[in-house]
Structures are given as C-alpha cells and as structure tokens.
Amino acid sequence: MSVALVTGSSRGIGRAIAERLGANGDSVVVNYHSDRGAADKVVATIEAAGGQAIAAQADVTDVSQLRGLFDLAEERFGGLDILVNNVGVARFATIAEATDADFDLVFATNVKATFVALREAANRLRDNGRIVVISSGVTATHRPDSGVYGASKAAVEQLVRVLAREIGGRKITVNNVLPGPTETEALASNRSREELAHVTTQTPLGRIGQPDDIAEVVAFLTSDAARWITGESIHGGGGLF
C-alpha cells in the first residue's frame, strides 16, 4: 500500500483524513505541532484497525522541520506516495481592520509552508503519487472579513494548478479540496451559534459538514479511482458554494 504524510493531523479534518487513509491500508505520518497526546490517539486508532502510523512533531512554518517530515517518511516507511497538506490558520477581519501581524501569520502558514511542502513533494514523491491540498470555500464565497484568509487560500490553489501541469508526466495528481463550514474546534472558535444556524439554512444538504465528509473526498482523490483528476478544486461544502 501507499505511504502518506498528513500535516496537521492530530485533530479536526486532518485527524479524520489520517484515520481514513490508515483504514484504507496506507502507512501514515501523523504530524502534530504541540499536542503529542492527540497525535498518539490517532496513531493508536490507525494501528487498532491494522494499519501503520507514526506521530511526528513539526512546526510546518519552519522549513527544516517540515523537510524533516519527508525525511521521516522515507526513513520509516521507505518512501512517500501521498501528501495531504492540511495545516492552515485563519484570521478573520475586514481588510480595513486586518493587521500586518494577521497577514504575516496567515501567509507564512497557509502559503509559504504549503509552497515548501509542494516543492518537497515534487522532488520526493514516487511516481503515480497523490497530492491533496486543503483549501477553503471562502475562495468561492467571498465572505466579508475573509479577505486575508481567502487570499492565502487562493494563492495555494494557483500553486496546485501549476504543479499539476509540471509533474503530470510522472502520473502524480495534484488537487485542492475546498471544505465549507465543518464541525471542528476551529469553526467553533470563529463562528457564533447564530452564524452556524444561518449557514445550515443556506446549505442545500441542510447541515454543517463533518470532518469525515472531507476525509472521504480526500480518500477518493488519493485512490487509483481518481487517476484522471488533476489540477482541480473539488468543492466540499454540501452545495453551499
């Protein structure tokens, strides 16, 4: 089976993705920033299902630490076939009120770290590999107060489209997934109950997304069934956008 690296996979959408790929038989590098206990639980879940996994601490905004995740995959499992770039940070404010610090943090995490991860993947993934980057539905909805965050995700989508053309000759596919509002700690900290209730009424499928919903999309894109899909932005918002 394949070897996968999932950044930011100790909780939320990243955790669901790591566990789903592990259940599929992939060996998984479970990346975490500070919560080793949460990462160990993900590893335990994968191993209990018969898979292989290892927890790996790294701050992905540190280039050497991010490269180290690729080194670890190669050392522990012999190579790397799948990168799921999931780490991201959100800061919501109107453009008039957003600070330089907001901009620097969001672009360092969402754009620079993704660029480095994609560069490493382009040079180190085995042929027929899969790259999936978790973007955001804000690039399609243009919600007020999402200017900086949305701009960072739009930049990432451009990197994905270009990389898909650059490494397609090696049969490596590169795609974005754009989640809508998804029930995670991050969502709860950024949206009020009233806002979430309103989003639910606007979503054709009538609910907030779950991490497993996004994990299933990623599982498809990393499978052989998606071998003909590359350079695409797959919407995962229940019809909201």
CB atoms within 10 A of CB 227: 11
CA distance 48 to 41: 10
Phi and psi, residue 178, nearest 5°: -110, 90
Using only C-alpha atoms, the chain has a radius of gyration, in whole angstroms, of: 17
Active site residue 149: yes
19: Cβ–Cβ under 8 A, 6 or more apart, which residues?
Answer: 42, 45, 46, 49, 215
* Of residues 231, 159, 216, 145, the one with CA closest to residue 182: 216
What is the residue whose two structure tokens read 């949305």? 150
| Set 149, 150, 184, 230: catalytic member | 149
Q: Which residue numbers are catalytic?
A: 149
